Amino acid sequence: MSARVRIAMLAAFGALLPLAVTAPVDTANATAAPTSVMAAAAAPATADFPDGVTRLSGVDRYATAVAVAERYSPGVPAVFVATGADFPDALAAASGAAAAGGPLLLTTPTRLPDTVRLELQRLKPARIYIAGGTAVVSTGVETALRRIAPTKRLAGAERYSTAQAIVDASFTSADHAVIATGRTFPDALAATGAAGSRRAPVLLVDGRSPRVGAPTVATLRRLGVRSVTITGGASVVSSGIQSQLTSAGYAVTRYGGTDRYETAALINRAYFRPGSSATSFLATGADFPDALAAAALAGRLGAPLDLTWRSCVPPAVNDGILSVGATRRAVLGGTAVVSRAAAENVRCVIPTTSEPLADWAVSSWDFDADAPAPYSDRPPVDVRSDSITLDSTGLLVYLRIDNRKRADHPVAYAQYGISAMLEYERTGDQIWLDRAIRHGRQLIAIRVERGEAWWYPYRFPWTYYERTLSSPWYSAMAQGQALSLFVRLAEATGETRWETAADKTWTSFTQRYSSTAPWSSLVIDDHLYFEEYAGDQVPLTVLNGQIFAMFGLYDYWRHRGGDPKVGAYLDGGATTVLARMMPAVRVPGGVSYYCVQAAYCQNSRWQHKTYHVIHSWQLDTLSRLTGDDRFSTWAARLRDDWAPADAAQSFERAQDEWMLPAG
């Protein structure tokens, strides 16, 4: 059978893909069935993905592309082969492969990898298409491919003419087209799945040019295109190109976000309505090889291709994935490029200080006012320990780590005071109440006032991993533990000064971010956070600090008879722990992260065994206070992931370390 006859027999494939979405442009006059000159009338099926996450990866980019190709049954109408050393030709090839109903495989410029050769032999393609000239895929590779199947090279003088050649060979008609820059890879990758859902070509252009060239205009006319989507903002694809296409009579829609991830999310939200695809694809946005192979399969299935950070999924992408509601997710690459958390669609916490302190997510828990109080099972410090030094007035002595000079440490004072109160309750010995009072007095003495609120400053700088907080800085953990101490002193003594201190400290939680005044409460992505390191650095969003702050809020809520305003802060903070913080801090099979700031905290340097133990205990306490077993379930997961050989001794060591700034 001649190649001409074979291609003619394959021409109907494009008409077989279902229209998976409501298009982001006017579809009232859309042509019914765009067609591909390569596509098969009965293209072999791709293997269905099971529900949940399926990871497609290999030892390198070539093996990962093979892992994607293995989803195709033998007898594919065509396979595209492009260099894995650069992206432009492979970008165009991904769109062509999607139209043809076959996979995209990658090769080195001068040698066809053995894994790719074996996969091509398994696929038994009717034809192989090489994307690009001999400078990017050598004649030696072409010879190796011809031994497997009839091979044709689609190439031009540069990336845009090569892309043009691929589109011209791939499509006979299309009512819709997608325009993407050929200078970078992310926007075109995301567009391939969307374009596949519309059976539309992806046309690469020089986005910096004020106009598209005559060949692109001719292709749009030849195909019968009526509407065009531009991917990326005006800095990526110029406003001149948009004006040119609009003036030419095309309905033009642009999708451009603040970065590649948001642009991809906007594209997919426009093309894929809820329930429109059972499968979605997820690949790193930091590099191109893994996503290239995924783009061809996503386009074939008419499924969204999302881009992600390694450690977690950007909020706009997370929203889009949830909106489509696909039950099957294909993840490209190993955990080094897309982490387990990202694969599970764990949402990134991207710190911001601009949101109003209002309207945060809540769960409407009915907190238990009769539950054992926080710390009743585990005092913060061992007040009888010989490692603790008190001065002649009974005040704890804290020496700065950097210069060994004495300094006021709000958390150290509050934790010692709480522990002294617990010892007083246990023994009735007046000395422990006196020591608790001494630490409460010192907190009041060092306070800073902002309006009606009292704040307890750190008057020394604090350095952590390439960042230094300038003095003074503040801590929601210090505010929360001071609040716990003041409530307990008020209940033990009945003295007005402690009631006043508790009221003033509670008020600090209600004050929003300020660049010139103390702060610690933030709303980030509609969730309430209590910042442990509140100063002139990016909020760190620390789990243990969040929960310790909430313990103080619980004590005050209970003390004030279940005050609903206090309860709203308590509820919001606990909701954030479940919805945003726990999925981000957990490391399956390992030690949890200390904080959740993306992507700074998702790093082995922030895995600390001491705080892993503390997290589990805190979560069990929250389960007791809220009556919600999800907290204790998270605690059990952490213990299953990692647990010390001697949990009791580990907790004692944790007690000794809690007084590290700020906790």
Q: Residue 628, SS3?
A: coil
Task: Work out the pLDDT band at 30, boundaries 50, 70, 90.
Answer: very low
Q: What's the confidence (pLDDT) of residue 87?
A: 87
Residue 36 has pLDDT above 60, yes or no: no
Residue boundaries of the structural domains of the chain? 3-343, 410-657
pLDDT tens-digit profile of 206-222?
999 999 999 999 999 99
Q: What's the confidence (pLDDT) of residue 652?
A: 55
Task: Work out the pLDDT band at 5, boundaries 50, 70, 90.
Answer: very low
> Could you tell me which residues come within 8 angstroms of residue 349 by beta carbon, excluding any fewer than 6 positions away?
312, 524, 525, 541, 580, 581, 584, 596, 597, 598
> Could you tell me which residues come within 8 angstroms of residue 306 by beta carbon, excluding any fewer than 6 positions away?
190, 264, 265, 268, 280, 281, 282, 283, 313, 317, 320, 321
Distance CA(653)–CA(655), nearest Å, equals 5
Mean pLDDT of the chain: 90
> First-to-last CA distance in the chain?
75
> Could you tell me which residues come within 8 angstroms of residue 146 by beta carbon, excluding any fewer than 6 positions away?
none
Q: Is the backbone of residue 430 left (phi > 0), alpha (psi -120 to 50) or beta?
A: alpha
Q: Is the backbone of residue 43 left (phi > 0), alpha (psi -120 to 50) or beta?
A: beta
Q: Residue 520, SS3?
A: coil
Burial 91-125 (b: 16+ CB within 10 A, else e): bbbbbbbbbbbbbbbbbbbeebbebbbebbeebeb
> 150 near 130, Cβ under 8 Å?
no
Distance CA(195)–CA(179), nearest Å, equals 10
Task: Work out the pLDDT band at 32, boundaries 50, 70, 90.
Answer: very low
Q: Secondary structure of 270-290 in the HEC alphabet?
A: HHCCCCCCCEEEEEECCCCHH
In 3D, which of 405, 661, 398 has the Cα closest to residue 534? 661
DSSP annotation string for 77-145: S-EEEEESS-SHHHHHHHHHHHHHTS-EEEE-SS---HHHHHHHHHH--S-EEEES-TTTS-HHHHHHH
For 316, other C-beta atoms within 10 Å of its C-beta total 21
Query: Sign of the CA dihedral 602, 607, 610, 613?
Result: positive
pLDDT tens-digit profile of 524-574?
999 999 999 999 999 999 999 999 999 999 999 999 999 999 999 999 999
Give the helix ranges, DSSP H, for 386-475: 410-427, 430-445
Q: What's the confidence (pLDDT) of residue 172?
A: 92
Q: What's the confidence (pLDDT) of residue 149?
A: 98
Q: What's the confidence (pLDDT) of residue 47?
A: 72
> Residue type at 189?
L
Q: Cα 135 vs. chain centroid, distance in angstroms?
A: 38
Q: What's the confidence (pLDDT) of residue 533?
A: 97
Q: Is pLDDT larger for residue 567 or for residue 193?
A: 567
Q: At what angle do helices 564-576 and 543-559 cross, to 10 degrees?
A: 160
Residue 155 has pLDDT above 80, yes or no: yes
pLDDT tens-digit profile of 293-333?
889 999 999 999 999 999 999 999 999 999 999 999 999 99
* Both tokens assigned to 603: 């790093």
Q: What's the confidence (pLDDT) of residue 291?
A: 86
Q: What's the confidence (pLDDT) of residue 189?
A: 82
pLDDT tens-digit profile of 466-514?
899 999 999 999 999 999 999 999 999 999 999 999 999 999 999 999 9
> 595 near 542, Cβ under 8 Å?
yes
Task: Give me the phi and psi of 22, to 5 degrees please.
Answer: -85, 120
- By 3-state DSSP, what share of the chain in percent is helix, strand and coil, each rounded to 5? 45, 15, 40
Q: pTM value?
A: 0.87
- The residue-averaged pLDDT of 113-134 equals 97
Q: What's the confidence (pLDDT) of residue 663?
A: 52
In 3D, which of 88, 69, 347 has the Cα closest to residue 202? 88
Q: What's the confidence (pLDDT) of residue 493?
A: 98
Residue 648 has pLDDT above 90, yes or no: no
Q: What's the confidence (pLDDT) of residue 289?
A: 85
pLDDT tens-digit profile of 394-420?
999 999 999 999 999 999 999 999 999
- The residue-averaged pLDDT of 5-24 equals 32
Task: Work out the pLDDT band at 454, boundaries 50, 70, 90.
Answer: very high
Distance CA(187)–CA(181), nearest Å, equals 7
Residue 651 has pLDDT above 70, yes or no: no
Q: What's the confidence (pLDDT) of residue 10?
A: 31
Percent of the chain with pLDDT over 90: 84
Q: What's the confidence (pLDDT) of residue 491?
A: 98
In 3D, which of 334, 358, 369 has the Cα closest to residue 569? 358
Distance CA(366)–CA(370), nearest Å, equals 12
Q: What's the confidence (pLDDT) of residue 650?
A: 55
Distance CA(409)–CA(458), nearest Å, equals 6
Q: What's the confidence (pLDDT) of residue 497?
A: 98
Distance CA(537)–CA(608), nearest Å, equals 21
Q: What's the confidence (pLDDT) of residue 8?
A: 32
What is the fold, at CATH topology level, of the domain defined by 410-657? Answer: Glycosyltransferase (1.50.10)
Task: Work out the pLDDT band at 150, boundaries 50, 70, 90.
Answer: very high
